[in-house]
Amino acid sequence: MTQDFRFTLQATDGRARRGQIDTPRGDIRTPAFMPVGTAGTVKAMYPEQVRDTGADIVLGNTYHLMLRPGAERVARMGGLHDFMDWPRPILTDSGGFQVMSLAKLRKLDEQGVTFKSHIDGSSHSLTPERSIEIQKLLDSDIIMQLDECVSLPAEEDELNRAMELSVRWAERSKQAFNDAKGRALFGIVQGGDNHHLRARSARHLIEIGFHGYAVGGLAVGEPQDVMFSVLDEITPHLPTEKPRYLMGVGKPDDLLGAVARGIDMFDCVHPTRAGRHGHAYTRFGVVNLKNARHKDDPRPLDETSPNPTARRFSRAYLHHLVRCEEILGAMILSQINLSYYQELMAGMRNAIEYSTFDQYCASVREGWIKGDLPALE
C-alpha cells in the first residue's frame, strides 16, 4: 500500500458512509460520483466546467483510450491529466467491460482476452498485466483490476467460472501493480446475483488486499431490487476501512439506494448521455425537453436550482435547441445533469454528517414523485 492514498471514514448514518479519499492529486469527498470521460473528454464539457459542477474525480475508459489515441501516446503526451487538462484524480477502468460490450470477435482464455477494435477492426489483447500497464501509462490515480463481467441472468456455473477467473486475474493484477507509488489498485467483486459467489469473491479479494473494493457485474440489465439485494448481501463482507465502488451505476434513485447500502463511489455515462438526448435531471425528476409542452414555456428548468445554468435559459429555448439538435443543447444539458448529480452527492454527504440521511432521501424522492412543474395553460 502506498502512503499517498488514504481513505478516512468520517461519519456513518445507518449503513450510509461519509468519507474522504486523499490522493496526491487531490481529495475525493465520498459518496462520490465520477463523471465519465470516455475518450479523454467528459463529452460536451470543458474540464473546468466539470470541476465547477463539484466533481473531484473523473473516470477514463481504458478500452477507448488504448484504441484511440493509444496508451503509449498518452504517456508520451505526459499522461491523461495533462492530455485532457484535468489536474485532479482520475480512475481508469480495466477495459474488460467494454471489450465485452463493444469489441468484435472476442476470445477469452485464462491468459486474457483478444479482440478486434469496433472502430477499425484492428487486433488487440488485454491481459491483467497489460491492463495495469496501460492504466499506468495513462497515469491513472485509481487503477482497476481486469475482471470478467457476465450479463444477467446467468447460470451459477458460468457466474462461478467468471468469478474464479476474476480472482486469479486479481492476483495477477496485484502483482503487476507492484505497489506503484501514489496510485491505488481496486479489486472487483464478481458473482452476479448469487450471494454465495459474491461472498467468496469478496473473501478472496480481501486476502489478496486492495486499496478499495468495487462491485462489478451489476447495472447489466437486472432490475433495481436485484442490484440492491446483492448490495445488501455484499457490503457487510467488505472492510469498513476501504472505499467501495459500485461500477457503472446509475440513475439518481440508484445512487440514493446504493449509498444507503454502504457504497462510496459511482460512475455512469447516464447523466451526459441523457443530456445529449434532451433529458434533464432536476429535483422534479427527469424532464424531457423534447416534449412539446415546453415549446412556449418561458420558465427556466428550475428557478430554485443552485446551478445558475438551470436557472438561466427558458424551457422554450432548451426545447428549441434540443429539437434543432444544436450542440449548445448537449452542452447545457450535460452541465445541468452533472450538476444535479453532484448536488445529490453533496446533499447525501451533508445528510450523513448530520444523521439525517433517511429524511434527505425521502425529501428528494418526494420531489421526484411530485414531478415536474404543471404545464402552463
Task: State the residues that interact with a second copy by CB under 8 A.
Answer: 39-41, 43-46, 68-69, 73, 76-78, 83-85, 295-296, 298, 312-314, 316-317, 319-321, 323-324, 326-328, 330-331
Helix (H, G, I), strand (E, B) or coil at 176: helix
Between 82 and 358, name the residue whose CB sits nearer to a second copy.
82
Q: How far is the CB of 50 from a second copy (least distance, A)?
A: 11
Report yes or no: 240 and 9 within 8 Å, Cβ to Cβ. yes
Q: Tell me: is residue 342 an annotated ligand-binding position.
A: no
Q: Tell me: is residue 229 an annotated ligand-binding position.
A: no
Q: How far is the CB of 306 from a second copy (least distance, A)?
A: 19
Q: How far is the CB of 119 from a second copy (least distance, A)?
A: 9
Set 93, 141, 254, 302: catalytic member: 93
Helix (H, G, I), strand (E, B) or coil at 102: helix
Between 77 and 362, name the residue whose CB sits nearer to a second copy.
77
Q: Tell me: is residue 339 an annotated ligand-binding position.
A: no
Q: Tell me: is residue 187 an annotated ligand-binding position.
A: no
- Rounded CA gap, 294 and 301, in Å? 10
Q: How far is the CB of 334 from a second copy (least distance, A)?
A: 9
Nearest Cα to Cα of residue 173 among 122, 225, 211, 139: 211
Between 50 and 218, name the residue whose CB sits nearer to a second copy.
50
Q: Tell me: is residue 96 an annotated ligand-binding position.
A: yes
Per-residue cell: 183:
496510485
Q: Tell me: is residue 147 an annotated ligand-binding position.
A: yes
93 is known as an active-site residue: yes
Report yes or no: 125 and 146 within 8 Å, Cβ to Cβ. no
Task: Note the maximum CA span of the chain.
Answer: 65
Taking each helix axis from N to C end, the angle separating 252-260 and 357-370, rounded to the nearest 10 degrees, works out to 160
- What is the number of helices (H) and of strands (E) in the chain? 15, 16
Between 214 and 321, name the residue whose CB sits nearer to a second copy.
321
Per-residue cell: 168:
486469479
Q: How far is the CB of 201 from a second copy (least distance, A)?
A: 35
Q: Tell me: is residue 95 an annotated ligand-binding position.
A: yes
Between 41 and 356, name the residue whose CB sits nearer to a second copy.
41
Residue 76 φ then ψ, to 5° = -65, -30
- Rounded CA gap, 135 and 190, in Å? 21
- Please give the C-alpha separations between residue 326 and each of 234, 321, 337, in angstroms, as whole numbers: 44, 5, 17
Per-residue cell: 24:
496526491
Report yes or no: 102 and 118 within 8 Å, Cβ to Cβ. yes
264 is known as an active-site residue: no
Q: Give Cα 155 to chain centroid, integer Å.
A: 27
CB atoms within 10 A of CB 101: 12
Between 223 and 298, name the residue whose CB sits nearer to a second copy.
298
Set 13, 254, 267, 297: catalytic member: 267
Report yes or no: 259 and 347 within 8 Å, Cβ to Cβ. no
Q: How far is the CB of 59 from a second copy (least distance, A)?
A: 16
- Report the binding-site residues for substrate: 93-97, 147, 190, 217
| Binding-site sequence positions | 93-97, 147, 190, 217
Residues designated as active site: 93, 267
